[in-house]
Structure formats: C-alpha cells, structure tokens
C-alpha cells in the first residue's frame, strides 16, 4: 500500500509540474549546489565520480555536486518518496524497471537540446537500442550511463575442487546446475547464485528464464506470460535446482561469491571491482544456453534531471559533462557505455584491466548487441511488489509451480491492462 501511495505521489506531482511549468531548464542565479542520487557506495565508483566533478568545477567553480548513495534494495522507493515530498534530487539514477514511469510521467527534464548544443558531445554516437527505453516521442529524457549485460563469474578453484570442468562460452543450464550441485555436495560451498535476487528481486531471474524463451509479459505489456509454458518450464528447473539438487542456495542462505562462498554468480562487470587479487582463480563467461538457445540479458540505468529542481539548467549542463565522450570512457571501467565508438573489447579493455578483451567481447560487446533488457513497465513499483508477493509460495519445497504462476497472472493482469 505504501509503495502504491508513493508512486501515485510522484505521478501526481509530475502532472502538476507539467501543467504549470515548462520543459525549459530553469536558470540558476549564483552558485548551484547539486545533489545526485546513486545506488552505489563502492569506494572506487565514488572516487571516479568525485574526480569527474572536480574536473567540472575547474570551469564551473560556483557549481558543487554531492553524490548521495541510497541502498539498492530501497532505491526507487526512497527516491520517489523524496520527489513526492518536494525534496527530490537535482539528478538521479533510474533503474530500467522504473524507466517507463519516470519517462512518461513528465517528472524528468528533456535533454536532447542541451546535449546537442554541448560542444564535442557527439549525441549521434549514442546507439538507438541503448536509448530506446529513455525516449518518449523522440525526446531523450535520460542518458543510459550503464548498458550492462549479465555474465557469470566463476570460481575455478572451487569447480576443480569438486571435480567439475571450467565452463567456456559453449555451456548450458543443465551443465551449470550439475556443477553447482556437485560443488555444494563436495565442498559445502554454494553452487550458483543469482546475485541481488535473494528470493525478492524477481526481475533478476530474467537472467535465467530467458534461456527458456520465457518473459514476464507480452511485448506490448498488456498480457501476463508468467503462466505460459516457457516460464513454467524455467521456474520448474530453478525450483528443482534449489530444493532438490541444492545447486542454488535456498531462501535464507547467504553466499557471497566474491568472498569465496560460491562457485558461480550471475552479475554485471561493475562487480569485478570486488575481486581481491590472489584470493582465488576466476573467470567471466556468458550466461549458459537454455532450451531456447544462447541469449543475453541487459540491465540498464539512466541518468536524468528532475524537473522539480531549482537548478535544472546547471544540472543538465553537469549531466552533459558527466557523460561526454571523455568521461564516458572513464565510466566504462564499471558501466558499459552507450556510445558506439567506445563499444569494443579493445576500447573497454583500456579501462577494465581486470577483464581480458576476450571476456569483454563475449560477455559485454556481444551481450549488448543481442541482449534483451530486464522487465520494465509503467506502475513498476506496484507490479513489482505484487509479483514478489504472488511468487512467495513458490519458494517452498512442495510448491506447485504452475499453480503459483497462475496466481501471479491473476494478480497482475488487471494492473497490466491498466
């Protein structure tokens, strides 16, 4: 209920802003103190952001930028609460799952004109596929600062200890689950972990179910597909891996790959910074192929300017600097770029010394070219919470998978229909 009220607040507030204001950036008299919400507290990420902001202050000494980390699990709820309360940031990261709400609500400032007028910005270098989710009627409302495919980090030491082969580019979910089960049995460590899922953030399971050709809803977003055959088969395979084979740690079990507690984890390359040199031997490989064949899943995040801010002009100009070609290349160390000129294994290897050109090519470059974006929809917060609640009965040993998934559709179909 609280999530529903918060979401209603942001949409109502955006409607008022659109009605009584304009899409023109608001000029700021005197110094501008900007706040930008982010969901990372990683020291390396923050140091890079501060470095970029310091470069901006050399030519804009009256502009300060505060990077405000909000925990990932509560990020969107906290952000929308701030906006609805009139205390929103000047700039904000936005998750792909919430993109339709933010882009279509009128809460964000159009960016196209500002970016086109910024010398050396090269707006045409942004790929159409990377910006599609952040456009409305041809206008760009957020810069896709991270277009990051999911891959699998592998602890090769644990796999060898369990007598399992190290996966290559040609491997399958059947092999992945078998290796995960063997690791758990032989070493007591976890097999394969879908990072940040924790039986709550169900959207990350798209990294699994897409291998069966499943999807949460139809392409137009109006029809639930949780109870269709591909999803039933995918969730049945996952349920068996969790509760019968122990290839995937069950509810309430914490296993951190980067601490050496799991053999494999599904995540993005920004997490490579968590690897400590010499702790264990590791590799990065694409997602396993499923019954529907090879595939890739992409997580996206956009950076936008909130229209309710008092310094929208200054915020838009800082966004243009933060995402220009030079700084985009720096950000590519953690966040794969949307710029076509920078999307090559050789270019990305310059800012990603931990990853080889082969790893970057097979997981990132090819993943962006062929990947599908994680599920997104308008009224994302309410739909996400509804799906999460409806899926809860699935995470028990004796669950009836088809019945649970039928229940998901019965719950969200009215929301999808609008």
Which position has the token pair 């509804």?
Answer: 386
**Residue 258 lies in domain:** 151-295+379-417
Task: Report d(CA 395, CA 38) in Å as an integer.
Answer: 31
Task: Report d(CA 290, CA 191) in Å as an integer.
Answer: 18
Q: What residue ranges in 10-168 does DSSP mark as E strands? A: 32-38, 63-69, 91-95, 135-136, 139-140, 143-149, 151-155
> Both 83 and 144 in a single domain?
yes
Contact 360, 170 (CB under 8 A): no
When divided into structural domains, the chain yields a total of: 2
> Both 361 and 221 in a single domain?
no
**H-only helix segments in 60-152:** 75-84, 99-105, 112-117, 128-131
263: nearest Cα among 358, 204, 210, 187: 187
- Sequence-distant (≥ 6) Cβ neighbours of residue 85 within 8 angstroms: 9
Which position has the token pair 């019965």?
Answer: 410
Q: In this structure, what token pair is assigned to residue 36?
A: 């930008």
Task: Report d(CA 181, CA 274) in Å as an integer.
Answer: 25
Q: In this structure, what token pair is assigned to residue 247?
A: 């290839």
Report the greatest alpha carbon distance in the chain: 67
267: nearest Cα among 361, 334, 178: 334
Task: Report d(CA 153, CA 371) in Å as an integer.
Answer: 18
> Both 179 and 248 in a single domain?
yes
> Both 35 and 140 in a single domain?
yes
Q: What is the pLDDT of residue 230?
A: 98
Q: What is the pLDDT of residue 243?
A: 98
Q: What is the DSSP string of 159-212?
A: HHHTT-PPP-SS-BHHHHHHHHHHHHHHHSSEEEEETTTTTT-GGGGHHHHGGG
Domain at 128, CATH number: 3.40.190.10
Q: What is the pLDDT of residue 159?
A: 97
> Both 304 and 395 in a single domain?
no
Task: Report d(CA 16, CA 27) in Å as an integer.
Answer: 20
> Both 248 and 383 in a single domain?
yes
Q: Kindly list the distances between the CA atom of residue 212 and the CA atoms of 34, 119, 148, 265, in Å, as whole numbers in the listed order.
A: 45, 46, 21, 19
> Both 137 and 156 in a single domain?
no
Per-residue pLDDT of the chain (418 residues; tens, 9 = 90+): 333 334 444 544 544 433 334 566 655 445 899 999 999 998 999 999 999 999 999 999 999 999 999 998 889 989 999 999 999 999 999 998 899 999 989 999 999 999 999 999 999 999 888 898 999 999 999 999 988 899 999 999 999 999 999 998 789 999 999 999 999 999 999 999 999 899 999 999 999 999 999 999 999 999 999 999 999 999 999 999 999 999 999 999 999 999 999 999 999 888 888 888 778 999 999 999 999 999 999 989 999 999 999 999 999 999 999 999 999 999 988 888 889 898 888 888 887 788 899 998 999 888 887 788 898 888 888 999 999 999 999 999 999 999 999 999 999 999 998 7
Task: Report d(CA 386, CA 235) in Å as an integer.
Answer: 18
Count CB neighbours of 16 within 10 A: 12
Contact 204, 196 (CB under 8 A): yes
Q: Measured at the alpha carbon of residue 151, what is the angle toward residues 148 and 153, in degrees to the nearest 5? A: 125
Task: Report d(CA 352, CA 355) in Å as an integer.
Answer: 6
* CA torsion through residues 405, 407, 413, 415, sign: negative
> Both 135 and 263 in a single domain?
no
> Both 333 and 401 in a single domain?
no
Helix (H/G/I), strand (E/B), else coil: 352 = coil
> Both 21 and 133 in a single domain?
yes
Q: In this structure, what token pair is assigned to residue 369?
A: 């070219």
Q: What is the pLDDT of residue 153?
A: 96
> Both 7 and 122 in a single domain?
yes
Beta bridge partners of 33: 64
Q: What is the pLDDT of residue 371?
A: 83
Q: In this structure, what token pair is assigned to residue 81?
A: 């609460």
Task: Report d(CA 165, CA 222) in Å as an integer.
Answer: 43
Burial of 58 (0-12, 13-18, 19+ CB in 10 A): exposed
Q: What is the rounded radius of gyration, in angstroms, for the C-alpha atoms of the chain?
A: 22
Task: Report d(CA 177, CA 244) in Å as an integer.
Answer: 11
Which helix (H) or strand (E) covers residue 318, if one does? helix 312-322
Task: Report d(CA 89, CA 198) in Å as an integer.
Answer: 29
> Both 121 and 155 in a single domain?
no
């Amino acid at each position: 209920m609280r999530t529903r009220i918060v979401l209603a607040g942001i949409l109502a507030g955006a409607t008022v802003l659109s009605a009584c204001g304009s899409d023109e950036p608001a000029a700021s008299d005197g110094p501008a103190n900007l706040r930008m919400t982010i969901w990372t507290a990683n020291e390396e990420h923050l140091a890079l952001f501060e470095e970029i902001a310091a470069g901006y202050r050399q030519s804009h000494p009256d502009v300060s930028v505060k990077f405000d980390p909000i925990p990932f699990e509560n990020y969107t709820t906290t952000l929308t609460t701030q906006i609805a309360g009139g205390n929103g940031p000047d700039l904000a990261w936005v998750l792909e799952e919430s993109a339709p709400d933010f882009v279509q609500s009128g809460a964000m400032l159009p960016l196209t004109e500002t970016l086109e007028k910024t010398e050396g910005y090269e707006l045409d270098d942004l790929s159409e596929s990377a910006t599609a989710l952040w456009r409305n009627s041809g206008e760009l409302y957020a810069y896709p600062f991270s277009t990051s495919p999911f891959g699998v980090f592998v602890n090769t030491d644990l796999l060898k200890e369990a007598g399992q082969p190290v996966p290559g580019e040609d491997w399958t979910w059947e092999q992945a689950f078998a290796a995960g089960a063997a690791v758990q049995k032989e070493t007591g460590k976890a097999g394969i972990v879908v990072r940040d899922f924790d039986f709550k953030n169900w959207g990350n399971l798209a990294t699994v179910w897409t291998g069966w050709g499943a999807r949460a809803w139809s392409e137009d977003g109006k029809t639930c597909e949780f109870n269709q055959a591909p999803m039933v088969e995918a969730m049945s395979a996952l349920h068996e891996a969790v509760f019968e084979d122990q290839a995937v740690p069950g509810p309430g079990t914490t296993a951190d790959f980067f601490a050496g507690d799991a053999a494999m984890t599904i995540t993005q390359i920004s997490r490579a910074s968590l690897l400590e040199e010499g702790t264990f031997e590791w590799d990065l490989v694409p997602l396993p192929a499923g019954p529907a064949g090879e595939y890739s899943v992409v997580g996206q995040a956009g950076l936008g300017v909130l229209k309710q801010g008092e310094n929208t002009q200054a915020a838009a100009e800082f966004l243009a600097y933060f995402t220009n070609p030079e700084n985009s290349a720096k950000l590519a160390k953690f966040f794969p770029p949307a710029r076509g000129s920078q999307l090559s294994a050789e270019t990305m290897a310059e800012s990603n010394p931990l990853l080889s050109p082969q790893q970057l090519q097979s997981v990132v470059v090819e993943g962006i070219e062929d990947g599908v974006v994680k599920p997104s929809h308008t009224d994302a917060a309410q739909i996400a919470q509804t799906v999460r609640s409806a899926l809860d009965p699935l995470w028990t040993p004796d669950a009836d998978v088809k019945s649970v998934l039928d229940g998901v559709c019965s719950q969200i179909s009215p929301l999808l229909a609008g």
